[in-house]
Amino acid sequence: MIYIITRTSISNAYPIFAQQGYENPREATGRIVCANCHLANKPVDIEVPQAVLPDTVFEAVVRIPYDTQLKQVLANGKKGGLNVGAVLILPEGFELAPTDRISPEIKEKMGNLSFQSYRPNQKNILVIGPVPGQKYSEITFPILSLDPATKKDIHFLKYPIYVGGNRGRGQIYPDGSKSNNTVYNATASGIVSKILRKEKGGYEITIADASDGRQVVDIIPPGPELLVSEGESIKLDQPLTSNPNVGGFGQGDAEIVLQDPFAAQTAAANAIRAVVDQGMQRAEVMIKGPGLGRDAALRAIRRSGILLTFVLPSLLTKVFPSELSY
């Protein structure tokens, strides 16, 4: 008796395809579902402002690092460049920024990317990909923070942001079957009695079980390199091929503060008032993140008539209030 084991040979397991099988891309455990198809663990990085004001456009930059010289196995078994994809899970109320509110600087960083909501009713979850990794290993998402005018129960708090990013094709389909971008193992123990190279690539490997005489035929799709030869004795689950996968998936998170603009202005005014009350003619301000409260602080300082020294991450400049344009 002959048993034939076959597998499907095409896989498109990018974050955007998770839409087809999962209502929510983030499981209750915190695991992002892309990891179900992309088995190798790889890094991903996300950069967002420390804080943002309501109804404000800002950048969320996702970096998916990998060696761009690497080539992956394509669906037809040939080698080609890696694509990348990402899923960004924002706080509820945050969403993709409207085109007419995106600055030219952010548009330039975005390139020709087109983002989608995970579901029509889940605008806070964005997906992108597959796109060429050679060009888009760094992806800039234009995000609009939530607007208190449209969300009555708004809270000025610290919120989590979750990201998943992959490079390269997946190894497993959502239905559990393998792609051709993974290792293939023997489905029986015995002797490799025959190896047939198929016309369009791939192999049929016949394994004769010495214990009962049955024959099992494992079908290997084009792509993985064969590791066994005829006459070789093999064990169950022994690798028949190499693992051609050079990609992988990673997930991470960040935090962002939704800043109350009135609180920022009040804090800045109080700080300047304290400086003036102490008779100081000079102030030094450390501006972090996106500079929230900066405009309010400058307005307050301008009225105070004192000299301001800004201490920035890489720049030290002195600005007189009279030089500020408001």
* Domain span holding position 10: 2-175+245-258
In a domain, 214, yes or no: yes
Q: Which residue did the predictor score with more confidence, 111 or 272? A: 111
Per-residue model confidence (pLDDT) at position 303:
56
Per-residue model confidence (pLDDT) at position 210:
72
Are β-strands 203-208 and 215-220 bridged in parallel, bridged antiparallel, or unpaired?
antiparallel
Strand-pairing partners, residue 249, are 41, 166
Task: Please state the rounded mean pLDDT for residues 274-296.
Answer: 53
In a domain, 134, yes or no: yes
pLDDT tens track for 162-195? 999 999 999 998 778 899 999 999 999 999 999 9
d(CA 286, CA 278): 19
d(CA 22, CA 33): 8
pLDDT at 310 over 50: no
In a domain, 60, yes or no: yes
Amino acid identity, residue 166?
A: N
**Ligand-binding site membership of 155 (annotated):** no
- Note whether 64 and 82 are same-domain residues: yes
- Note whether 226 and 267 are same-domain residues: no
**Ligand-binding site membership of 34 (annotated):** yes
**Residue of 182, 305, 296 whose CA lies nearest to 246:** 182
- Note whether 13 and 43 are same-domain residues: yes
**pLDDT confidence tier of residue 280, bands split at 50, 70 and 90:** low
**Ligand-binding site membership of 326 (annotated):** no
Per DSSP, the three-state class of 79 is strand
CATH code of the domain containing 168: 2.60.40.830
**Ligand-binding site membership of 3 (annotated):** no
Give this prediction's pTM: 0.78
pLDDT at 272 over 80: no
d(CA 133, CA 84): 5
Which of 50-54, 198-202, 268-272 bottoms out in mean pLDDT, i.e. has the lowest?
Answer: 268-272
pLDDT tens track for 211-262? 788 999 999 999 999 999 999 999 999 999 999 999 999 999 999 999 887 7
In a domain, 113, yes or no: yes
Backbone angles phi, psi at 3, to 5 degrees: -105, 130
Task: Please state the rounded mean pLDDT for residues 59-65.
Answer: 98
- Note whether 135 and 18 are same-domain residues: yes
Task: Give the C-alpha distances (Å, rounded to integers) separating 284 from 50, 300, 302.
Answer: 20, 14, 14
Which of 60-69, 116-125, 148-157, 289-298 bottoms out in mean pLDDT, i.e. has the lowest?
Answer: 289-298
- Domain count within the chain: 3
pLDDT tens track for 116-161? 999 999 999 999 999 999 999 999 999 999 987 777 777 889 999 9
In a domain, 240, yes or no: no
d(CA 240, CA 184): 6
pLDDT at 266 over 80: no
Strand-pairing partners, residue 34, are none
**Omega of the bond leading into 130 within 30 degrees of 0 (cis):** yes
In a domain, 181, yes or no: no
d(CA 129, CA 165): 10
- Note whether 57 and 142 are same-domain residues: yes
Q: Alpha carbon 224 to chain centroid distance?
A: 27
